[in-house]
Structure 1
Amino acid sequence: MRYENRADAGHRLARRLEYLRGTDVVVLGVLRGGVPVAFEMARCLDAPLDVIVVRKLGVPWQPELGFGAIGEHGVRVLNEDVLRESGLSPAEQETVERSERAELERRVRRCRAGHAPVPLAGRTAVVVDDGVATGAAAEAACRVARTRGAARVVLAVPVGPERTLPHLRAVADQVVCPQALRHLGSVGAWYRDFSQTTDAEVGALLAEADHSTTAARSPATPDAPSPDREVDVPAGRVRLGARLTLPTKARMVVVFAHGSGSSRHSPHNQYVATALHRAGLGTLLLDLLTKDEERNRHNVFDILLLARRLRAASGWLRRESALSLSYFGAGTGAGAALEAAADEDIRAIVSLGGRPDLASPAALARVRAPTLFVVGGLDTRVLSLNRLAADWMHCEHHLAVVPDAGHLLTDPGTLDTVADLARDWFTTHLARPETGAPPMRSA
Structure 2
Amino acid sequence: MDEIDRFEDREEAGKALADRLSQYRGQDAVVLALPRGGLPVGAEIARALALPLDLVFVRKLGTPHNPELAMGAIAGPQGEVVVRNPDVFRAAGCEEAEFTRIAEREKAEILRRREAYGAPDLPLQGKIAIVVDDGMATGATMRAALRAVRQSGPEKTICAIPVASRSALEEMRGEADEVICPLVPSHLYAVGAHYIHFDQVPDSEVTAILARARSEASSAENPAK
Q: Into which bin does the TM-score normalised by the smaller protein fall?
A: over 0.9
1:10 partnered with 2:2: no
Match for 1:20: what amino acid?
A: Y
Q: Which structure 1 segments of 5+ residues have no match?
A: 220-443
Match of 1:72 in 2: 76
Higher relative contact order (CA 8 A, sep 6+): 2
Return the letter of the residue paired with 1:52. Answer: V
Question: Is the CA contact 2:54–2:120 (under 8 Å) kept in the aligned structure 1?
Answer: no
* Divergent runs of 4+, >2 A: none
Superposition pairs of residues 11-160 of structure 1, within 5 angstroms: 11-73=15-77, 74-112=80-118, 115-160=119-164
Query: After superposition, what is the alpha-carbon deviation per residue over 1:314-364, rounded to whole angstroms, capped at 9, x for unaligned?
Result: xxxxxxxxxxxxxxxxxxxxxxxxxxxxxxxxxxxxxxxxxxxxxxxxxxx
Contact 1:76 1:140 in 2 (8 A): yes
Q: Take 1:165 and 1:120, find their aligned partners in 2: how far apart are those partners?
A: 24
Length-normalised TM-score, structure 1: 0.48
Q: Which amino acid aligns with 1:173?
A: D
Structure 1 residue 218 displacement after superposition? 5.2
Which deviates more from structure 2 when the two are superposed, residues 209-218 or residues 47-56? 209-218
Is contact 2:36-2:202 (8 Å) kept?
A: yes
Aligned to 1:198: 202
- Do 1:2 and 1:190's aligned partners in 2 also have CA atoms closer than 8 Å? yes
Distance 1:22 1:105 in 2: 31
- Aligned residue pairs total 217
Return the letter of the residue paired with 1:181: P
The Cα RMSD (Å) is 1.3
- Please give the residue correspondences for 1:113-262 in structure 2 after superposition, counting only pairs within 5 Å: 115-217=119-221
Kept in 2, the 8 Å contact 1:130–1:158? The answer is yes
Shift of 1:92: 1.2
SS in 1 for 2:214: helix
Alpha-carbon shift at residue 60 of structure 1 (Å): 1.0
Identity of aligned residues (%): 45
Contact 1:29 1:49 in 2 (8 A): yes
Q: Is the 8 A contact 1:57 1:96 kept in 2?
A: yes
- Pick the structure with greater CA Rg: 1
For 2:47 and 2:120, how far apart are their aligned partners in 1? 19
Contact kept, 8 Å, 1:27 with 1:128, in 2: the verdict is yes
Residues 145-187 of structure 1 deviation map (CA, whole Å, 9 limit, x = unaligned) = 1112222110101001011111111111111011112201110
Q: Give the drift of 1:23.
A: 1.0
SS in 1 for 2:216: helix
Residue segments in structure 2 that go unaligned for 5+ positions in a row: none
Q: Which has the higher strand share?
A: 1
TM-score, normalising length from structure 2? 0.93
